[in-house]
Amino acid sequence: MGVSQGSFGDAELWGDQSPAPFLDAARLTDDLTEPQRQAVTHPGGPLLVVAGAGSGKTRVLTRRVAYLLEVDRVAPWEILAITFTNKAADEMKRRVAELVGSRSERMWVQTFHSACLRLLRANAGVLGFEPGFTIYDSDESRSEVERIMKDLGIDVKATKPRSVLAMISAAKNAMQSPDAYLEVDAEPKREMVAKVYQRYEDSLRRANAMDFDDLLLNAVRMLQKDAEVRQRYQRQFRHVLVDEFQDTNGVQNKLVEILAEHHGNICVVGDADQSIYRFRAA
């Protein structure tokens, strides 16, 4: 699906205070290789960039974002760029700002978790949470799991709470509820983990709290549950870009799939053959 260059006039985007003049395509692509140039100027629709370490993938991503802003005149708030670390997000913001100045300020350049937190803070009521919900860190989560295990009479020396929490985390990243987790295999240890998992979820809910994994899982659940909210963000994000695609898990893939569904402009960067397989499968 192509990008409509004339969707917004300059006055609509910036009012009477437009930043610097827009850059032309040549300024953004002259120093790129031909494959890099093709990725940066891609007209729209799905795009996979396979790049190894040191091959300039960060340059391609930032130039792609700048191209969308400067040449295709996409509004900054219509771009969602997702990275895995805060450092990578900050670096992308800095590089894009160096190219386009203040036009980059309202972009969504986020980690998966920060993007989901932003979505949930604005729409927490969809899942019955208050907007000021608490986020448990790893120590708080482990402590709560340990308390639940002791309440259930489970020997926390023989079965470490941290290992149980890791299994709960894996289930959440696979988008498995306690019941779904148990359906995979009803062997005794799994039954124990499912029981702890359910009580842990109940405890979080009573405390108006989420753990780190819930940010992803609940953002997906929220988008799936509320069609109005889902369609609002799908319409907003005309372009979704994901770095280190080969490292994404099931819930992260689902989030990207939902947000990019309306416009279909999804660009992912990966560094392994598996990325190609997963991208085509999606």
From first to last of the 282 residues of the chain, give the pLDDT tens digit: 223 233 333 434 444 445 566 777 778 889 999 999 999 999 999 999 987 666 678 889 999 999 999 999 999 999 999 999 999 999 999 999 999 988 888 999 999 999 999 999 999 999 999 999 999 999 999 999 999 999 999 999 999 999 999 999 999 999 999 999 999 877 889 999 999 999 999 999 999 999 999 999 999 999 999 999 999 999 999 999 999 998 899 999 999 999 999 999 999 998 765 555 555 555
CATH of domain 134-207: 1.10.10.160
d(CA 261, CA 265): 8
Distances in Å between the Cα of 180 and the Cα atoms of 164, 191, 200, 237 are: 16, 11, 15, 31
Q: Which long-range contacts (CB under 8 A, 24 or more apart) does 168-171 make?
A: 168/193, 168/196, 168/197, 168/200, 168/213, 169/213, 171/197
> Taking the model in full, what pTM does it have?
0.85
- Residue 160 tokens read as 């470490």
Domain with CATH 3.40.50.300 in the chain: 38-121+225-281
CATH of domain 38-121+225-281: 3.40.50.300
Residue 46 DSSP label: -
Torsion angle of the four alpha carbons 234, 119, 270, 58, in this order, in degrees rounded to the nearest 10: 100
Domain with CATH 1.10.10.160 in the chain: 134-207
d(CA 25, CA 40): 10
33 C-beta neighbours (distance < 10 Å), count: 12
Torsion angle of the four alpha carbons 42, 47, 48, 49, in this order, in degrees rounded to the nearest 10: 20
Q: Which amino acid is at 130?
A: E
Q: Which amino acid is at 271?
A: D
d(CA 14, CA 21): 12
For position 23, what pLDDT does the model report? 72
Burial (CB count within 10 angstroms: exposed 0-12, middle 13-18, buried 19+), residue 229: middle
For position 214, what pLDDT does the model report? 98
